[in-house]
């Protein structure tokens, strides 16, 4: 019996979320008194996972699995699950992992529970605490079955170094046939991805037009943050869809979320509820977002942002 972590990577390098899932996997494998296997795809730095407690790292080196494909990746993982006698699979909360979780559960006839926020409350029966109703509530969920799949809410467990002497094995894998083809992949344009970001600078229709986004990008650059936006902004093509945050977009669990010229509609808030500190900049003192904010600035973004950038540049 082993615990398996799916370690996501981008352009051949591990994503930050892979260190958190490995940290969680190690803590859980210790509770279960079993070993931790981390599986990556076409990744050049997967050995780094040893630092977070991986007992064994399997890197699947297969050119056909370079771009994420939930079906192909699920079939590849299912081969390893069977070979290594895995009883528990841990995923991140990325959009890719969410697609993969459902499909993998289907083909392995297992149970999949998302948005887990801490180590299991109990091992036997296996009960996890998960956030639900767009992070407004928590539920304790019992998972039954021989194989269990959980995904971890980002930043809920954190990184825990746990140096071990894990081994790295590079394997190829049986060719996997799927009936669908990926026709287009839209990459996020910013340097830091929303899922990995500690800080997210997000802007809405209050910015008036795409030509004003240089302020947002500059603020994000000073803070080392990812850029994001409200739905109408991506619908109008001012920003790529990969930046759209909210109920129908990406969830954000950053430590700091700065919302500029965003009204704070319920569908937007649904995606950022689990961010820790929310700062709102809006020229309307009655904007609903202020009710959800930890800090607020009532002011014109076109005056506030340049001042904020110059103050931050002077300090950082």
Ligand X SMILES: Cc1cc2nc3c(=O)[nH]c(=O)nc-3n(C[C@H](O)[C@H](O)[C@H](O)COP(=O)(O)OP(=O)(O)OC[C@H]3O[C@@H](n4cnc5c(N)ncnc54)[C@H](O)[C@@H]3O)c2cc1C
Shortest distance (Å) from residue 240 CB to ligand X:
14
- Smaller CB separation from ligand X, 223 or 270: 270
Shortest distance (Å) from residue 101 CB to ligand X:
21
- Smaller CB separation from ligand X, 11 or 267: 267
* Burial 231-255, CB ≥16 within 10 A → b, else e: bebbeeebbeebbbbbeebbbbbbe
- Smaller CB separation from ligand X, 219 or 301: 301
Rounded to an integer, what distance in angstroms lies between the CA atom of residue 204 and that of residue 218?
16
- Smaller CB separation from ligand X, 43 or 233: 233
Rounded to an integer, what distance in angstroms lies between the CA atom of residue 117 and that of residue 133?
14
- Smaller CB separation from ligand X, 158 or 285: 285
Following DSSP, what letter does each residue of 155-204 receive, concatenated?
A: TSS---------EEEEE-------S------PPP-SSS-TTT-SEEEEE-
Look at residues 219, 206, 211, 192 and name the one whose alpha carbon lies nearest to residue 310: 219
Shortest distance (Å) from residue 99 CB to ligand X:
18
Residue whose tokens read 């902004």: 233
For residues 148 and 128, is the Cβ–Cβ distance under 8 A? Answer: no
- Smaller CB separation from ligand X, 149 or 305: 305
Shortest distance (Å) from residue 56 CB to ligand X:
39
Apex CA 249: angle with CA 285 and CA 309, to 5°? 50
Q: For the beta carbon of residue 57, count every other beta carbon within 10 angstroms.
A: 24
Shortest distance (Å) from residue 290 CB to ligand X:
10
Rounded to an integer, what distance in angstroms lies between the CA atom of residue 26 and that of residue 96?
22
Shortest distance (Å) from residue 15 CB to ligand X:
23
Shortest distance (Å) from residue 260 CB to ligand X:
6
Binding site for ligand X (CB under 6 A): 204-206, 230-233, 246-249, 261-263, 265, 267-268, 271, 281-284, 287, 300-302
Shortest distance (Å) from residue 198 CB to ligand X:
21
- Smaller CB separation from ligand X, 177 or 186: 186
- The residues pairing with 297 across neighbouring beta strands, listed in sequence order, are 281
- Smaller CB separation from ligand X, 18 or 114: 114
**Token code pair at residue 142:** 């019992």
Question: Which residues have C-beta within 8 Å of that of residue 30, sequence separation ≥ 6?
Answer: none
């Amino acid at each position: 019996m082993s615990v398996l972590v799916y370690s996501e990577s981008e352009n051949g390098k591990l994503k930050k979320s892979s260190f958190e899932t490995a940290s969680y996997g190690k803590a859980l494998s210790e509770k279960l008194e079993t070993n931790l296997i981390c599986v990556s795809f076409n990744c050049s730095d997967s050995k780094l996972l040893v630092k977070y407690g991986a007992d064994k790292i399997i890197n699947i080196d297969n050119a056909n699995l370079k771009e994420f494909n939930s079906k192909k990746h699920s079939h590849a993982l299912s081969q390893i699950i069977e070979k290594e006698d895995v009883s528990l699979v841990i995923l991140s909360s990325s959009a890719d992992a969410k697609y993969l979780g459902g499909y993998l559960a289907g083909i392995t006839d297992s149970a999949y529970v998302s948005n887990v926020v801490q180590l299991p409350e109990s091992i036997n029966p296996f009960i996890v605490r998960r956030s639900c109703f767009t992070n407004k509530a928590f539920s304790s969920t019992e998972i039954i079955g021989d194989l269990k799949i959980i995904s971890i809410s980002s930043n809920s467990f954190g990184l825990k170094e746990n140096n071990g002497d894990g081994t790295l094995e590079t394997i190829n894998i049986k060719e996997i046939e799927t009936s669908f083809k990926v026709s287009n992949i839209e990459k996020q344009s910013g340097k830091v991805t929303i899922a990995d970001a500690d800080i997210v600078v997000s802007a809405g229709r209050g910015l008036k037009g795409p030509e004003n986004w240089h302020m947002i990008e500059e603020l994000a650059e000073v803070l080392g943050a990812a850029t994001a936006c409200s739905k109408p902004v991506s619908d109008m093509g001012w920003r790529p869809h990969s930046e759209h945050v909210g109920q129908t977009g990406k969830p954000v669990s950053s430590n700091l979320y700065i919302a500029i010229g965003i009204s704070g509609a319920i569908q937007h808030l649904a995606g950022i509820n689990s961010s820790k500190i929310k700062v709102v900049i809006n020229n309307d003192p009655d904007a609903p977002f202020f009710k959800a904010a930890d800090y607020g600035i009532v002011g014109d973004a076109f005056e506030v942002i340049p001042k904020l950038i110059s103050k931050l540049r002077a300090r950082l």
